[in-house]
């Protein structure tokens, strides 16, 4: 399959950094645009994403072996559906340890599924170290740093090298109180709003549009990677997967 199915893993070792908001934006926009999408909420105590999308998102407790088997089996079931994981920080280490142990990235790619780690950054030394260790453990996975100004406006981009240097970073501007109130409405839909407000004149549109543009660039890069491999060349991801220092 030339067009691989993305598997977005929205992750951070910390809580309250915007992971669920990012996962919500992905699921909402893909669903509204007619794409087959399903999500997994790995916050067993507060499954906010599953509560907002009860027919699209499944809450799973990966703190037990049964939950881990259920999740990873379902992630590999369908190579035509875009999948989104909202990874709670309580299970951050456990999730990625299992992912490495079962060689999940290799198995997924054999089924034309492309795991993409959307890693929400922050300037803490421990976070920088965690990101480097994770890239080392999952050398063949695609890593996209997400710089969220609501978390911190100060960060060194060299501390979070992306898999693709040109398009491999997502920047999220700080939400104004007005935009926050609007998108927190129970019936607010990112995708519907973008369709109903095509001129881009509102603050909400201006906040959403750069994020969606980055996602489109990432998925276009995935297609280019797959075409390169089918034509017998070496992928950019392979060339940039050197061990982080």
**CATH code of the domain in which 31 resides:** 3.40.50.300
Instruction: Give me the domain span that covers residue 147.
Output: 5-239
Contact 82, 8 (CB under 8 A): yes
Residue 245 domain-assigned (yes or no) = no
What pTM was estimated for this model as a whole?
Answer: 0.90
- Is the pLDDT confidence value at 150 over 80? yes
- Is the pLDDT confidence value at 78 over 90? no
Residue 136 domain-assigned (yes or no) = yes
Residue 99 domain-assigned (yes or no) = yes
Q: Which residues contact 170 (CB under 8 A, 6 or more apart)?
A: 118, 144, 145, 146, 147, 211, 214, 215, 218
Residue 79 domain-assigned (yes or no) = yes
- The string of pLDDT tens digits covering residues 187-218 is 999 988 888 877 777 888 888 888 989 988 88
What's the number of domains the chain is made of?
1
- Residue 15: CB atoms within 10 Å: 13
pLDDT at residue 196, as a whole number: 83
Cα–Cα distance, 20 to 16 (Å, whole number): 9
Residue 58 domain-assigned (yes or no) = yes
Residue 187 domain-assigned (yes or no) = yes
DSSP string computed for 111-174 = TTEEEEEEEE--S-HHHHHHHHHHHHHTTTSEEEEEEETTT-S---GGGS--SSTTT--EEEPP
Give 155 or 121, the one with higher predicted confidence. 121
Cα–Cα distance, 179 to 175 (Å, whole number): 6
Residue 110 domain-assigned (yes or no) = yes
């Amino acid at each position: 399959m030339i067009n691989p199915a993305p598997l977005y893993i929205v992750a951070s070792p910390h809580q309250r950094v915007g992971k669920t908001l990012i996962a919500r934006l992905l699921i909402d926009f893909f669903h509204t645009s007619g794409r087959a999408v399903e999500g997994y909420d790995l916050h067993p105590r507060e499954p906010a994403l599953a509560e907002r999308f009860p027919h699209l998102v499944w809450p799973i407790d990966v703190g037990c072996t049964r939950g881990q088997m259920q999740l990873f089996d379902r992630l590999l079931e369908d190579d035509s559906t875009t999948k989104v994981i909202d990874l709670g920080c309580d299970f951050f280490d456990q999730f990625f340890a299992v992912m490495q142990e079962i060689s999940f990235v290799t198995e997924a790619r054999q089924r034309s599924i492309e795991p993409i780690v959307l890693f929400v950054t922050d300037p803490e030394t421990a976070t920088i170290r965690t990101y480097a260790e994770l890239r080392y453990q999952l050398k063949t996975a695609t890593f996209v740093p997400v710089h969220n100004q609501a978390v911190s406006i100060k960060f060194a981009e060299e501390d979070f090298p992306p898999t693709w240097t040109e398009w491999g970073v997502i920047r999220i501007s700080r939400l104004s109180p007005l935009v926050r109130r609007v998108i927190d409405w129970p019936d607010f839909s990112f995708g519907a709003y973008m369709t109903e407000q095509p001129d881009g004149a509102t603050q909400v549109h201006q906040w959403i549009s750069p994020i969606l543009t980055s996602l489109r660039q990432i998925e276009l890069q995935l297609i280019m990677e797959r075409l390169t491999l089918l034509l017998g060349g070496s992928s950019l991801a392979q060339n940039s997967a050197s061990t982080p220092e």
